[in-house]
Amino acid sequence: MRVLVTGFEPFGGDAVNASGEAVTALAEGWNDPTIHLVTAILPVTFAGAPAALAAAIGEHRPDAVVCVGEAGGRAAVTPERYAVNERAARIPDNDGATPAGPIDSGPERLESRIDVEHVATAIAAAGVPAHVSEDAGRFVCNAVFRAVLTGFAGPAGFVHVPTVRETGTATVGAETDEAATAAVSALTTADLVTALDAAVRALT
């Protein structure tokens, strides 16, 4: 089984993005010959991220895709149930764009094609706090979630991780949960790798 896992580059002035750091570390430590893990780091742009995702899918021909992003209002890892048909940029993306309105001509919501309850349970069983989220926001994470559901036919989903920083404090993240108060997560990058490892294995 070949699984593509994607993360994001830093954005909004922050030097790191927890999703990109965790996905890179996951790939570096992967040693399971039964699952061929491939990864990609996407740009935080409404135009570029779906295109980069499509290119990675075309290159690797995966059997399943798990996209990962960071959410600053959350202290747990949260598999997302729905991708909504809306863009709303609270801050500019890395191209300086602030689009608003529908993403495509499809329905208001598309549901994840991975079992989000099973994935959340698997992550929690690995020792990392996790629960299902019903709302992936309106920023680039949601746009990528929407893109994988419309541009890939196999099992596909999205997982948000907290804005873990090994040093310093995240200044971004409210793009996912604009009304949420800042959440301080006790998780480390190693914890996020454990969570993503469990999420990938839960697909098999």
56 or 74, greater pLDDT: 56
- Cβ atoms of 155 and 118 closer than 8 Å: no
Place of tokens 């006790």: 186
pLDDT of residue 179: 59
Residue range 74-129, pLDDT digits in tens = 889 999 999 999 999 988 999 999 999 999 999 999 999 999 999 999 999 999 99
Q: What's the rounded mean pLDDT across residues 2-12?
A: 96
Residue 68: which of 20, 33, 28 has the closest Cα? Answer: 20
Helix, strand, coil distribution of the chain in percent, nearest 5: 30, 20, 50
pLDDT of residue 160: 97
pLDDT of residue 90: 85
Catalytic residues: 141
CA atoms within 13 A on the CB side of 87: 21
Per-residue confidence band for 168, with pLDDT thresholds at 50, 70 and 90: confident
Q: For residue 150, give Cα distances in angstroms to 4, 5, 15, 54, 160.
A: 16, 17, 31, 10, 19
What CATH number does domain 2-201 carry, 3.40.630.30, 3.40.190.10, 3.40.630.20, 1.10.730.10? 3.40.630.20
66 or 178, greater pLDDT: 66
pLDDT of residue 13: 85
Place of tokens 């922050």: 14
pLDDT of residue 167: 77
Residue range 169-203, pLDDT digits in tens = 777 766 776 655 556 678 999 999 999 999 999 99
Report d(CA 145, CA 50) in Å as an integer. 9
165 or 133, greater pLDDT: 133
pLDDT of residue 79: 98
Q: Has residue 157 got a pLDDT over 90?
A: yes
Secondary structure of 32-101 in the HEC alphabet?
CCCCEEEEEEECCCCCHHHHHHHHHHHHHCCCEEEEEEEECCCCCEEEECEEECCEECCCCCCCCCCCEE
pLDDT of residue 18: 95
- Cβ atoms of 112 and 202 closer than 8 Å: no
Q: What's the rounded mean pLDDT across residues 142-162?
A: 97
Q: For residue 77, give Cα distances in angstroms to 18, 69, 116, 142, 199.
A: 12, 10, 11, 16, 10
Structure pTM? Answer: 0.94
Q: Give me the chain's average pLDDT, please.
A: 93
pLDDT of residue 17: 94
Name the amino acid, one letter, at 169.
Answer: T
Query: For residue 105, with 0-12 CB atoms within 10 Å meaning exposed, 13-18 middle and 19 or more buried, which class applies?
Result: exposed
pLDDT of residue 183: 60
> DSSP 3-state assignment of 110?
strand
